[in-house]
């Protein structure tokens, strides 16, 4: 399985600021996704990060709030813009490689004050 790392692992941010989370994979992967996991809850898919084109967002998520980049087959970023306390969550990167299954990174724990 692919080895996935995320930076930062955690952060505490002020309301109104933005944070960019990085996801790095140790091998080229077909698909990359971003999920949000609010405290004590399940995972919600934010978007599919498409290599070389705009991300595909799920219902309830928009590019202005969660801009995503994927410049190549091993790296993606998610930005949480104009943050509010409601954005406090764990943000998770996941990947699918070929016909393999979906694997997750360790997550980024975000607290917004």
Partner 1 sequence: GESVGLHLPTLSVQEGDNSIINCAYSNSASDYFIWYKQESGKGPQFIIDIRSNMDKRQGQRVTVLLNKTVKHLSLQIAATQPGDSAVYFCAEGEYNFNKFYFGSGTKLNVKP
The contact set with partner 1 (CB under 8 A) reads: 1, 4, 30-31, 33, 35, 41-45, 48, 58-59, 92, 96, 101-107, 109
Nearer Cβ to partner 1 (18/102)? 102
Which sign does the torsion angle of CA 18, 111, 6, 103 carry?
Answer: negative
CA–CA separation, 27 and 80 (whole Å): 26
Contact of 31 with 96, CB cutoff 8 Å:
yes
Closest distance to partner 1 from the beta carbon of 82 (Å): 24
Closest distance to partner 1 from the beta carbon of 16 (Å): 27
């Amino acid at each position: 399985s692919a080895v996935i790392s995320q930076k930062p692992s955690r952060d505490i941010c002020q309301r109104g600021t933005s944070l960019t989370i990085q996801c790095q994979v140790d091998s080229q992967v077909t698909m990359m996704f971003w999920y949000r996991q609010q405290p004590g809850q399940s995972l919600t898919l934010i978007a599919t990060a498409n290599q070389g084109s705009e991300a595909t967002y799920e219902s309830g998520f928009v590019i202005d709030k969660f801009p995503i980049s994927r410049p190549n087959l091993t790296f993606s970023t998610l930005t949480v813009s104009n943050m509010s306390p409601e954005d406090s969550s764990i943000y998770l990167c996941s990947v699918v490689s070929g016909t393999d299954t979906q694997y997750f990174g360790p997550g980024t724990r975000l607290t917004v004050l």
